[in-house]
Structure 1
Amino acid sequence: MKKVKKVIAWACVLSLSLSAVACGTKTEEKKDNVKIDIFQFKVEAKDALDKAAKEYTSINKNVKINIQTIGGGDDYGAALKSKFASGEEPAIYNIGGTQDAIDWKEKLEDLSKEPWIDKAFPGTLEAVKMDEGKIVGMPFNQEGYGLIYNKDIFSKVGIDGETIKTYADLEKACATLDSKKADLGLDAVICLPGSEKWVTGLHLSNVAFGSEFTDVKKAFEAKTIDFKYNEQLKKLLDLQIKYAYKPDGSNKSINSVTYPTQVEKEFALGKVAMIQQGNWAYGGIKGVDEKVAKNVGFVPMSLDGVKEGCLPVGVPMYWAINSKKDDVTKKAAKDFLNWLYTSDKGKEMIIKDFNFIPAFKGYDGDNLKPADPLSQAILKYSNEGKTSPWVFMGYPTGWGQDKLGNDIQKYIAGDLTWDKLVENAKVTWGEARNK
C-alpha cells in the first residue's frame, strides 16, 4: 500500500512538473498583441493593401492592422501633418524623399539594418539616405508616366503609338485624332485633370526640370532655378489644353476635372484617346473596362528638341516607420513591410494585386513578371535606357503643388501669363531655398 501511495505521489509531482513546464513554454511562446496603424497615400493600392494586411494577420494572430488612405485629390502631406498634430500618430506612413526625410527626421526610424536593404536596386535608396548611413525609407515601387493612349482608338485612324517619339510626332497625332473626333465618338483627344495639381505642378513640370537637373539630389541642393526649358514646357501644356476635355467648353473648366473623371469616366469609357498618367492608373482603367485596359500603351511627353522619346521613371514614395512608437510596435511594423516585399506570398501580391514594378531584386520567377501592359512598357523603356529622372521629389516642400501648381491652374484659366508664371516660379523657389 505504501508503495502504491509513493507511486501516486511521484505521479502527482511529475504531473505538476510537466504542467509547470508546459505553462512556462506557453508563456514564452506567447507574443504581445500589437496594433499597427498605417496612414498611406496611394489610393490605387488601397484594396491590395487591405488584402495584404488580412493575409499577414491571418498568420500573425497577435497583430491587428488599421489602414487609412488619403490621396487622389487630397493633399497627403497636409493630411499627414494634421494626423501627427492630432496625437494619433501612425506606426507606418509615407515620405516622398530627401526633403520629407529632413522635415520628418525626428519621427523616422533607422531602417538600415533591415533584410531588404541589400535587395534594393541601385539608386532607389539615395533620396532617403541620411547622416551616419541611416536609411529612413523603404521604396514603394518603381513607376513611370507619360501619355497613356488607347491603342484601339489610335488604330482606327491609322496611328501606331509606338512610332510617336518626338513633340512633332505627338502634335501631328493630336491633330489627326481631333479631325476624326466625331467619327470616333470622342469628347476630346486628351483629358487633363486640372484640379489635380500633382499632375501638373509635379509630374508635368518634371519633364522640364528632369532635363535641367541630372538627379533628385541636384534639384534638392539647387538654391535657384533657371527654368531653362520653360518655353518647351509651355508648348507641351498648350497642346494638352488645346485638345483637352472641357466640361463646359471653356479652358477654365479643365480645372474642375478630377483624377477619377480623367481615368475612370473619360479614358476607361473610350471618350478620350489619351491621358497624362502613369502605370498606377491601370487598376482604375481595368476596374471599368478590362478590354480597354488590355489595349493601352505609353506615348512620351517629349519637349520639343529636348531629350525626346523618354519616360520619367522613379520611386514615387517610401514607407517610413515612426521612431517614437514602442519597440514592440516598431518590430511588428518592420516585419510586416519585410514580409510584404520579400516573402513568396508577399511578392506574388506585389505583382498581381498591387500591380507594382518592384524596386527590389528577387522577383525573377515567371509568375513575378508585371502582367499589365503599362508596367511592361515602363520596363521596356527602362531596359532601353529611354528614361529621365524624377527630380520633383527634390523640389522645395509644397512648391510643386502649392506654388507652381496653383499658377498653372491660373494659366489654364487665362488669369496669369506664362511669363509671370515663370517669374513666380523662380522667385518662390529661391525664397524657399534661402530662408
Structure 2
Amino acid sequence: MKNVKKVVALAITSLMLVSSLGLAGCSSKSESASAGKDAVTLNIFQFKVEMAKELEEAAKAYSADHPNVKINIETVGGGADYGAALRAKIQSGKEPDIFNIGGPQDVKDWQSRLVDLSGEPWVKQAVDGVLPGVTVDNKVYGMPFAVEGYGFVYNKGIFEAAGIDAKNIKDYASLETAVKTLDAKIKSGELKSKYPKLEAVFELPAKEDWVTGLHASNAALGQEFKSGLEAFNAKKVDFKYGDGLKALIDLQANYSPSKDSKGKLNAVDYATQVGQGIAIERVAIIQQGNWIFNDVKKTDEKVANNLDILPMPIKGGKEDTIPVGVPMYWAVNNKGSESQQKAAKDFLNWLYTSDKGKDFVVNKFFFIPALKGYEKLQPKDALGAAVNRYVQAGKTSPWVFMGYPTGWGQKVLGLEIQKYLSGEEKWEDLVKNSQAKWAEMRK
C-alpha cells in the first residue's frame, strides 16, 4: 500500500482541485436502469453508528428517485463487535446484501461472498493507495467508506483557559507536561467557574476493545509495519514500540476519573467518553477521531466546533503524527439475487458519485471522501480540518490494524489491556501473550 500521506493528501486535494477524469459526467445521475424494474429490497448491515440516522435519510432519498428499491439498514457498532455480529448474522441465514469489510484479512475471511466491483464507475475515481488492501488478483472487492484520522481530540477552550499552547505539543514529553499542567489546574479549582463539570484530563473507554486493541495499538504498530498488507503478511509481531504504547495507555489511565481504581475503566464505553465526556466538557481530551464530530455536535454544537486534534506520540518513533487511513469498505454479497446485486452496486454508486449522494457524504456524514470529484464540497467540520492539517504537513502514520489476524486486536490485545488496567497482569506479560497469540493465529 502506498504512503498514507500521499493517499490522504490526494483525497483531500480532490476536494479543491477540478477533476480531469470526467466524474461530473458519470455522477450527474446514477444508473437507475441497472436496478431493474421489478421491486427490490436491499438489506444493509453496517458499523458506523455516528452516521446511522443520516445513512437512513440517504437511503430514503435514493428510494425516492428509485421507487422500485426499498432499503433496510441495520447498524451494529459503537461498542459491539461488528465482525462477530456479521458472522452471527450470516450464520442465521439472514444475509445482508451490503456489508462492511476492513481490509486484507476480511477479504480473505469473506472471499466466498464478495462481488467483484472492479467494473464499477467509482473505481477509476479512487485516490491512490486506498484499494490495494481490498484487491486480489486485480479484482476490487470493497468500496472505501472515507478517509479518517484520529489522535487525542481536545477542547481548545479548556486548553486556553489553562494557559496551554497546543502548538507546542509535538512529542510525548510535551504532551505529558501539558497533561500535568492541566491536571493541576483542575485539582486546584482554577477552571471550575468556567468549566464546572470538568473533573479530569482524560476519559479512557477500555470497555471498547477497538479503541485500545485496534486504534491505540496502531499508534505503535503503525510504525513497526509500513502498511496493513505488511501486517497481514507478518508471521510475528515484535512490539518494537511497546514501551511507547504503554506510555500512552498509562497517561490516559493515570489522568482519568478512575486513576485510583483503573479497573473501573473497563466499564467505560464510547457514550461515556464522547457524549457524556468531552461533549459536556467533563474531560478535556479523549483518544478518538474526526468521526465523533457529529455525535458531539448533536450534544453541543459550540463544543464540537471548538475541538482539535493533538498527535499520538510514540516515544522512540515518529512522535508528531496521527494515524490516518480508510476505516471500512462497503462490500456487496454475491449470495443475493442478480437484481439485488445490481441495485446494491447502483446505490453505492449513487451515494458517492451523484450530487445528492455527495452532499450526504460530506455535509451530513462529515466524511473526507476517498474518491476524486468532490472539488465543490470541502469538509466544514473542525475535526476534518484538523486531519487535513496533519495530512498536508506530512505528519501521518498508516492504519495497519486491518491487517491484524482476525480478532487479535480486540479479543486478544484489547482484553490483555483490560487485564493490565485491572492489575491482573504486568505489561511484559501482556506483550508476551499477545505475541504468542499472533504467531499462533498466523500458522
- On whether the aligned pair clears a TM of 0.5, the verdict is yes
Give deviations 1:210-263, integer Å, cap 9, x for gaps: 01011111100000111111111111211111101229x511111111100100
Corresponding position of 1:117: 123
Name the CA distance, whole Å, in 2 between partners of 1:286 and 1:306. Answer: 34
Corresponding position of 2:70: 64
Give deviations 1:153-211, integer Å, cap 9, x for gaps: 00001112222110011000000000011332421100110100000000000011001
User: Does the CA-based 8 Å contact 1:192-1:245 persist in structure 2?
Assistant: no
Name the CA distance, whole Å, in 2 between partners of 1:384 and 1:349. Answer: 28
Corresponding position of 2:335: 324
Corresponding position of 2:140: 135
Corresponding position of 1:432: 441
SS of the equivalent of 1:371 reads coil
Corresponding position of 1:372: 381
Name the CA distance, whole Å, in 2 between partners of 1:160 and 1:341. Answer: 39
Residue 161 in 1 paired to residue 166 in 2? yes
Letter of the structure 1 residue corresponding to residue 273 of structure 2: Q
Corresponding position of 1:150: 155
Corresponding position of 2:20: none
Residue 217 in 1 paired to residue 222 in 2? no
Distance apart, 1:61 and its partner CA: 0.5
Name the CA distance, whole Å, in 1 between partners of 2:243 and 2:173. Answer: 15
Name the CA distance, whole Å, in 2 between partners of 1:295 and 1:149. Answer: 9
Corresponding position of 1:230: 242
Distance apart, 1:51 and its partner CA: 0.6
Give deviations 1:99-143, integer Å, cap 9, x for gaps: 000000000000000000010011100110012x11100000000
User: Does the CA-based 8 Å contact 2:241-2:315 persist in structure 1?
Assistant: no
User: Does the CA-based 8 Å contact 1:44-1:280 persist in structure 2?
Assistant: yes
The sequence identity of aligned pairs, in percent, is 55
Name the Cα RMSD after superposition: 1.2
Letter of the structure 2 residue corresponding to residue 258 of structure 1: D
Corresponding position of 2:88: 82
Letter of the structure 1 residue corresponding to residue 42 of structure 2: I
Name the CA distance, whole Å, in 1 between partners of 2:219 and 2:163. Answer: 28
Name the CA distance, whole Å, in 2 between partners of 1:369 and 1:30. Answer: 34
Corresponding position of 1:23: none
Give deviations 1:252-287, integer Å, cap 9, x for gaps: 111111100100111111111100000001111111
Give deviations 1:25-84, integer Å, cap 9, x for gaps: xxxx98110000000011001011001001000010100000000001111111101111
SS of the equivalent of 1:273 reads strand
SS of the equivalent of 2:215 reads helix
Name the CA distance, whole Å, in 1 between partners of 2:221 and 2:229. Answer: 12
Name the CA distance, whole Å, in 2 between partners of 1:250 and 1:113. Answer: 55
Structure 1 unaligned residues grouped into runs of 5+: 1-28
2:261 to 238, 245, 250: 250
Distance apart, 1:291 and its partner CA: 0.8
Corresponding position of 2:185: 180
Q: List aligned pairs for 1:283-302, cutoff 5 A.
A: 283-302=294-313
Structure 2 unaligned residues grouped into runs of 5+: 1-34, 193-197
Name the CA distance, whole Å, in 1 between partners of 2:325 and 2:206. Answer: 23
Which has the larger Rg? 1
Distance apart, 1:399 and its partner CA: 0.1
User: Does the CA-based 8 Å contact 1:92-1:319 persist in structure 2?
Assistant: yes
Letter of the structure 2 residue corresponding to residue 59 of structure 1: D
SS of the equivalent of 1:184 reads coil
1:266–1:328 CA distance, 2 compared to 1 (3 A) = same
Name the CA distance, whole Å, in 2 between partners of 1:232 and 1:380. Answer: 24
